[in-house]
Structure 1
Amino acid sequence: MAGGAAEPGSEPQAFQRLPDPGAPRLTSGYGRSSLRELRDREFCRLAGTVYLDHAGATLFPQSQLTNFTKDLMENIYGNPHSQNVTSKLTHDTVEQVRYRILAHFHTTPEDYSVIFTAGSTAALRLVAEAFPWVSRGPESSGSHFCYLTDNHTSVVGMRNVVLSMNVTSAPIKPEDMLSVGEQGAAADDPHCQLPHLFCYPAQSNFSGTRYPLSWIGDIKSGRMRPVRAPGRWFVLLDAASYVSTSPLDLSVHQADFIPISFYKIFGFPTGLGALLVSKHVAPLMRKGYFGGGTAAAYLAGEDFYIPRPSVAERFEDGTISFLDVIALKHGFDALERLTGGMENIKQHTFELARYTHGALSALCYPNGAPVVRIYSDSEFSSPDVQGPIINFNVLDDSGHVVGYSQVDKMASLYNIHLRTGCFCNTGACQRHLGLSNEMVKQHLQAGHICGDDVDLIDGRPTGSVRISFGYMSTLDDAEAFLKFIIATRLCSPGDQPVLQASSREVGASSVENNCYSPQEGACTDPGVCSDSCPSVDTTGMHQSLSEATGTQQTLPETAAGVLHGDLGNHVVTNIFLYPIKSCAAFEVTKWPVGSQGLLYDRNWMVVNHNGICLSQKQEPRLCLIQPYIDLQQRIMVIKAKGMEPIELPLEEDGEQARICQSKVCADRVNTYDCGEKISNWLSKFIGRPCHLIKQSSNFRRNARKTSGKDPPPGTTATLSLVNEAQYLLVNTSSILDLQHQLNASDGPGQEESFPMKDLVSRFRANIITNGTRAFEEETWDEISIGSLHFQVLGPCHRCQMICINQQTGQRNQDVFQKLSESRKRKVNFGVYLLHASLDSSSPSFLSVGSKVLPVLKENTQCPESLSFQRHQGALA
C-alpha cells in the first residue's frame, strides 16, 4: 500500500480528500524534492513500517549519520580538557555547536548560555538543585515551586528536591491558571525579592496541547501569578516536546530556563540534552557538587573550591559527551537541508494531525456510536494551539473502552508503531480520563504500575493510545493508520464501515465507505515469507522414550495438532513440548516431567548477534525449524526444509561450553553457546547471523507470580526459558468456539479457513484437554492429571504470535482480532500451570488419555463462552 505499510491482503481504495488549503502541503514535501523522494533516499528503513511515535523519539536521516561518520573518520577529536591540537579542535567545534543551538532558537550568547546535560530530565534536575530557593521560616513564607499538572514526570519530580529544602510546592491545573494568576497579582510587593519558579510545558506530551508562550512575559512582569506569593518570579519552559516540530523564538519569549532533548529533534544522538539559561538568572544559580573540569581551583585537603567563570563550564561536571555534541552539527545541517527549517516542519506535521483528527473523529459504528474517544483541549484549528499529537482510546459499539494494550498488539500486526499508557504524564492522564487520586492509588494496589500493560481495571482505562507525526511523516502514514482502525473496528464479515460527518468541519478529508478485508492467509512480511516459503511436514516421527526403569517404548505416529475425540470428558488429548523457544512443536503421547516442566521444554533458544532472544514476532521462519528429541540416543535432531538435518547432544560438555548470559522476560539467565556448527546452520536458514544457546543446568530461575498469584508456599518450582510459567493448558472446547466464529463466513462446501489443526498449533500449549464448555478452564483453581498436581496461575494474555500460521510462517491478523472482539477487551486464551508438588523420588510422566480433575475457584461462575452454547448444535 502507499506509504509502505505492510498490511496483509488486497489494497483498499484510496481515501477521498476534500479540497483544502492544507492539502498541497501534505503531498509536496519540502522545496525541490518531494516527500516520497526524501523518504526513499533518507529513510528507506521505514519501508513496510508506519512509524507514529515521533513524540517518543523521532528518526534520524541516513545523510546525518553518513556525514557524522565521515567527520569522525577524517578528524581527530580529543578530550576538550587537554591542551593539545586535537583537544583544541574539539573545544572549538563544541563552542561552534553552542552558537548553532542558540541561533536555532533565535538568540545569542549575550542573552543565553547552553549547558549540555545527559537529557532534558538531567537539565530539570540541575535547575531543581541549583535554583536559589529560600526555605520557609518564622519570618518568611519562603520560595514557591509551582508547576502545571500537565507537566512531564521529570518536572513533577523536581518537587522532591524542593521539599527537601523546606520549600512550598504547588500544583496548578491548566483550567485554573488564569484565575489563580489574577488573584495572585494583587498580593505583589515591589520590595520583596523572594525567588519563585513556575514550570509549564510549551506542548503537552500527552495531548499535544500548546500552552501560550505569552505566559512567560505575563508571569515575569507580574500580570499573572500562579499563586498568591509576592516576590520575583522565574519561568521554566519545558520545550522538549514542543521544539521537536516547531520553532521557538527566545528573543520574543524569554523564559529563564529551557530544557531540551536533542533526539526529539534529530533522532540522533540519544542521551544528550541541554539547559538554556538566561544570563539574568545564571549568576543566582548555586553550585553544589563539582566534577572534573568545573573548578578553576580547589584543594583536596581543605574546603576550598573556586568554580570556573562561565555558567556552562561551572555546571558541566566531568567531560561532556563531546562526540555526541559534534553530531548535533550534522543534525542541524540535515534538518535545514531536507526541510528548509522548523516553520515548514510545524506546518507539515500539524496538517497531518488535523487531517487524521478530522477523519478519526468522523468514524462511527453502524449504530452511530463513535469508534474513538479523543482527548484534546483544542479543535485542531491552528498549530499555535495544537501540536502533531493525537491521544485517544478506541471504543466498542457499546461505548466501552478497548484496552490500549489490545490496540497496540493489533497495530503491531499492521506494522504500525504507536505509543500507549500514560506517557510519563499522570496529571494529564488523570484530567482527560477522569481518574481521581484515589483511583490511581487503587490501580496501584490492583497491581498496575506505569509502563505495564494493565490497561483496564473495573472497566475503566488506566491509559490511552497516542500517535504523533514527525517531519518525515507522510499522508500515506496517516491513511495507513486510519485504514487500520477501519479494518479492525468496522470490517466484520458482511459489514461496511460507517462514516458520519461531525458537527464541526471534518478537516482535510473524509474517508470513503470502503471496507478493507484482509486476504485470507496473506503474508504480511514479504521479506520473510514468499511463494518460496517452505511448507512444513507436520506428521509425527517415531520417538523413543527411555523411562527410569531402563525400558524403551516406541510411540505411534501422530499428526501434530490432531485432536483425539474418543477419550471422554476432561482428559489430556495432546501433549506438546517446544525444545527450542519459538520453534516448532514436538508432539508426544508420554513424556517425563522435570522440576521445570516437561523435560527439555524450552531449554534452548535462538539469539541474534547481540545475544538478544529471537521470537516469531521478529522472525516468523522460526516456526519452520523442527526439533526432535531422542532420549535413548541423548540427542536433539533439528530439521528444516531445504536444510540437511543437524544433531546436538542433549547435555553440554562442561569443558567446551562457552558460558554467556541472556534475558527472558526481564529475567537474566545463564546459558552456554551450542557452537559454531549449529550457529552457521541457523544463520543460513534464517538469513542473518544468530546462535543457539541452552540454559545452563546449574542455573535456577525461580517461578514468579502470575496473574496476581504467588507460587505455592514451600515449593521449589523453577522455570526453563519459558516466558511465564512451567505449563500452558488449552481446552478443546475453547478452540472449537473460536474456530466456529472464524469460519462462520465460509460458505457451504468450502474448505475451512481455519482448520482445527492450524488453531491448535497457533496457541503453542503444552497440554490440550477436551472439556464440556468453552473457557471453563478459567474457573479452575487447581487440577490433577494422573498423579501430578498443578496450581492454575491464571490466564495467558495473548500477543500477535497467534496470528502466525505454524505450518507456513505466514501472518493473518484475523485470529487475534476475532479473539479480541469475542473475549470482551482482553485477549486471553489458555491458562498457566505450575507444579504444586513433585515427588522427585520416582520418575513422573504426563500421558495422553490421563484424566483431568479440576477444582473450581471459590465463589466463581463459569465464564461466558464466546458463542459455544448458541452454536453447539452446529459444532456437533
Structure 2
Amino acid sequence: MRSYSSKIEGIRQREYGYLNGVTYLDHAGCTLYPTTLMHKFAQDLSSNLFGNPHSASPSSMLSSDRVETVRSRVLKFFNASPEHFDLVFVANATAGIKMVMDAFRDIEDGYWYGYHRDSHTSLVGVREHSKASRCFATDDQVEDWIASTSTAEEDSTMKLFAYPAQSNMNGRRSPLKWCGQVRKNKPNTYTLLDAAAYLTTGSLDLSNPQDAPDFTCMSFYKIFGFPDLGALIVRKSSADILTKRKYFGGGTVKMVLSIDTAWHSKRQEVHESLEDGTLPFHNIVALGHAMDVYAELYGTPKQVSAHASGLAKVAYERLLNLRYSNGAPVCEIYKDERASYNDSTTQGPTVAFNIRQPDGSWVGKSKVEEAAIKNNIHIRSGGVCNPGGVASFLQWDSVGMKKNFDAGMTCGDKNDLMGPGGKPTGIVRISLGAMSSMGDVEKFVHFVEQTYVYGGEMIGNIQPIAKLKSEMQPLTSDVPSRVEEKRRMLKNIFRNMTGRNYVSA
C-alpha cells in the first residue's frame, strides 16, 4: 500500500489554499474540503437541473437516480452488501442516533439501554427514554456483561447497547468485535455503533453481517469535509425494531387517512420508511463528488489511517517528552492504558492533554486555546461533548461535577480550574486528518515549547523541531536581538526553578 505522505505538501497547495498561514488540528470536529470537490459540485449544479425527488418530472428523476447511485456507493465504500444492509440518509450522526432511539422509545414495554463511558453526549442522551440504563465504566465491565448469563438478561425486554468506535475525546478505539459478540450471547439485544469520530481516518468493513453492528451512524463531513450530511446504516435482519417508530413523515407512507379515520400504511424498504420528507438531494449529489475526489487524492481509508496515525505518533511522543528546566513534564496526556499510538486498531490520530506549569499547577484549557488562536492554530478545548471520558481521566466524580455546576460551570464556559487544588474541568485536544502534515505537528509542538517552556510568544516562521533547541529565533519582529532573547529565556528558566525573579548584576 503506497502512502501519499510524500505528496501531501503539493496536495495542500493545490486543494487547501485557505490553510496558508493556518495550522488546523481539529479534524475530529470536522475535516477539510478540497477545492476540486467544490468546483466539481458547482459545475454539476450549473449544468444539470435537479428537482424534488418526490415528483415524476425529468429533473425529479435525475435527483432520484443520483440519490440511489450514491446510496449504493456509500454501502460499497464500507463493504456493506445491499442484500444485508440499507442506508438511511440523515442530517448527521446525532440524527441517526435519535432515529434509533425514537424506535426503541415507542416500544410498548420500554427498553433497557447500556452505553460505554467513552460515549459522546448524543449517545448518553438515549438513556432518557429507557426504563433502565447502565453506563459501563470500563471495557472489562462490557466484556463481563457480554459473557454473563442471568435471568434478568434472558427476559423479553428489548435492549440496546451503544458505544463509540473511537472516543471523540482522546481517540481511543474500542473493540469492533463487541457487536458480533453481543449478537451471539445477549438475546433481544441490539447494537448501535457511533462511527462518527472513527471514520475521520478509520476504515470500517461491514462485509460480514454476522459481526456487524445492527445500526451504524456517521457524519460525512468528518470523512470528506463536505457535505453536511449523515447516514444510518441498518442491518436488514435487525430492521424490524425500527418499525416500532410511530412518527411518519412525507414520502414514508403508501397511504394516509386523515379526516375521519386515523390510518396509514408505511413503505416497505427500510430507507423509504425512515427518510421523512424531502431528502437533502443537493447534498447527496455533493457526496458523490466528495467520494470521487477523496479517492483521487488519498486512495483508500487505510491509506488515510496510515498517514494520520504516523503524524499522531510523532505529536504524542514530542508532547510527552517536553520538559521544563527543572525536569517537570509540560503535558499531562490522557491516553487509555489499552491504547497504543503504534497500533491504529486501538488508537486514532487524536491527542488529549492538559498543560502544567513548572510547579505542577495547571494552565487553564481556555488559556491554551486562546494562545493558540493568537497564532492561527485551530484546536479544541473543553469537555468536547464526552462527559464520561473527561470525568474519568480528570478524576471528577458525580458529586464534584454537580458542585462545579452549582458554582456556575457549564459546557463551553471558561471555568477552567475548579474544586480543591484547582483541578482541570476539561482538556485540550488536537486531532489529525487526511490532509494534515508534519509541518502542522511541528508548528504545534513549537508553539507549546515557546509559549510554556520558554514563556514567550509564537515564532512567525516555523523551523524543524530538531533545530529549535540549538538555534532560537526572535519571537516577534520588534525583538531587538538574539542576545536579549536568550537573556529573557534565562530569566524565565531561573524563575521556573526558584520561584523568584532573576536580577542581573
Q: TM-score, normalised by structure 2?
A: 0.89
- Match among 421, 424, 433 for residue 394 of structure 2: 433
Superposition pairs of residues 189-338 of structure 1, within 5 angstroms: 193-222=156-185, 231-252=187-208, 253-270=211-228, 272-285=229-242, 286-301=244-259, 302-338=261-297
- The yes-or-no answer on 1:155 pairing with 2:123 is yes
Q: Deviations over 1:122-177 (max 9, x none)?
A: 111110011376566xxxxx631111121000011111123xxxx21111112443
- Separation in 2 of the partners of 1:423 and 1:182? 29
Superposition pairs of residues 439-518 of structure 1, within 5 angstroms: 439-458=400-419, 459-492=422-455, 513-514=469-470, 516-518=472-474
- The yes-or-no answer on 1:125 pairing with 2:125 is no
Task: Note if contact 1:112-1:279 (Cα within 8 Å) is conserved in structure 2.
Answer: yes
Report how far residue 276 of structure 1 moved.
0.8
SS of 2:81's equivalent in the other structure is coil
- Separation in 2 of the partners of 1:125 and 1:202? 18
Q: Percent identity over the alignment?
A: 37
SS of 1:160's equivalent in the other structure is helix
In structure 1, what residue type is equivalent to 2:330?
A: V
Q: Deviations over 1:667-713 (max 9, x none)?
A: xxxxxxxxxxxxxxxxxxxxxxxxxxxxxxxxxxxxxxxxxxxxxxx
> Hey, what does 2:320 align to over in structure 1?
361
- Separation in 2 of the partners of 1:441 and 1:122? 28
In structure 2, what residue type is equivalent to 1:83?
A: A
- Separation in 2 of the partners of 1:518 and 1:98? 54
SS of 2:148's equivalent in the other structure is helix
Report how far residue 492 of structure 1 moved.
4.5
Report how far residue 267 of structure 1 moved.
1.0
Task: Note if contact 1:491-1:517 (Cα within 8 Å) is conserved in structure 2.
Answer: no
Write 1 or 2 for the structure with the bigger share of strand: 1
Q: Deviations over 1:524-573 (max 9, x none)?
A: xxxxxxxxxxxxxxxxxxxxxxxxxxxxxxxxxxxxxxxxxxxxxxxxxx
- Match among 101, 112, 117 for residue 85 of structure 2: 112
> Hey, what does 2:379 align to over in structure 1?
418
Report how far residue 287 of structure 1 moved.
2.9
Once superposed, what is the RMSD of the aligned Cα atoms? 2.9
Instruction: Mark the runs of 5 or more structure 1 residues left unpaired by the alignment.
Output: 1-21, 137-141, 226-230, 494-508, 524-741, 754-813, 825-865
SS of 2:232's equivalent in the other structure is strand
Task: Note if contact 1:393-1:401 (Cα within 8 Å) is conserved in structure 2.
Answer: yes
Please tell me whether Structure 1 or Structure 2 has the larger radius of gyration of its CA atoms: 1
> Hey, what does 1:381 align to over in structure 2?
342
Write 1 or 2 for the structure with the bigger share of helix: 2
- Separation in 2 of the partners of 1:281 and 1:514? 61
Report how far residue 442 of structure 1 moved.
1.2
Report how far residue 283 of structure 1 moved.
2.2
Superposition pairs of residues 50-65 of structure 1, within 5 angstroms: 50-65=23-38
SS of 2:440's equivalent in the other structure is helix
SS of 1:53's equivalent in the other structure is coil
In structure 2, what residue type is equivalent to 1:241?
A: A
Q: Compared with structure 1, are the counterparts of its residues 515 and 435 closer, same or farther at alpha carbon in structure 2 (3 Å cutoff)? A: farther
Q: Compared with structure 1, are the counterparts of its residues 477 and 159 closer, same or farther at alpha carbon in structure 2 (3 Å cutoff)? A: same
SS of 1:296's equivalent in the other structure is strand
Superposition pairs of residues 524-543 of structure 1, within 5 angstroms: none
> Hey, what does 1:396 align to over in structure 2?
357
Q: Which moved more, 1:174-183 or 1:418-427?
A: 174-183
Task: Note if contact 1:487-1:516 (Cα within 8 Å) is conserved in structure 2.
Answer: no
Q: Deviations over 1:649-670 (max 9, x none)?
A: xxxxxxxxxxxxxxxxxxxxxx
- Separation in 2 of the partners of 1:81 and 1:240? 29
SS of 2:141's equivalent in the other structure is helix
- Separation in 1 of the partners of 2:467 and 2:414? 31
- Match among 321, 327, 352 for residue 311 of structure 2: 352
Report how far residue 310 of structure 1 moved.
1.2
Report how far residue 515 of structure 1 moved.
6.0
SS of 1:406's equivalent in the other structure is helix
Q: Deviations over 1:157-216 (max 9, x none)?
A: 111123xxxx211111124434532662355877x5542110000000001000001111
SS of 1:382's equivalent in the other structure is coil
Instruction: Mark the runs of 5 or more structure 2 residues left unpaired by the alignment.
Output: 457-464
SS of 2:87's equivalent in the other structure is strand
Task: Note if contact 2:146-2:181 (Cα within 8 Å) is conserved in structure 1.
Answer: no
> Hey, what does 1:169 align to over in structure 2?
133
Report how far residue 401 of structure 1 moved.
1.3
- Separation in 2 of the partners of 1:405 and 1:54? 19
- Separation in 2 of the partners of 1:203 and 1:443? 28
Report how far residue 48 of structure 1 moved.
0.6
Q: Which has the higher contact order (CA 8 A, sep 6+)?
A: 2
- Separation in 2 of the partners of 1:221 and 1:466? 37
Q: TM-score, normalised by structure 1?
A: 0.52
Task: Note if contact 1:491-1:516 (Cα within 8 Å) is conserved in structure 2.
Answer: no
Q: Which moved more, 1:462-471 or 1:297-306?
A: 297-306
Superposition pairs of residues 777-856 of structure 1, within 5 angstroms: none
- Separation in 1 of the partners of 2:274 and 2:237? 16
Superposition pairs of residues 675-754 of structure 1, within 5 angstroms: none
Task: Note if contact 1:394-1:402 (Cα within 8 Å) is conserved in structure 2.
Answer: yes
> Hey, what does 2:462 align to over in structure 1?
none
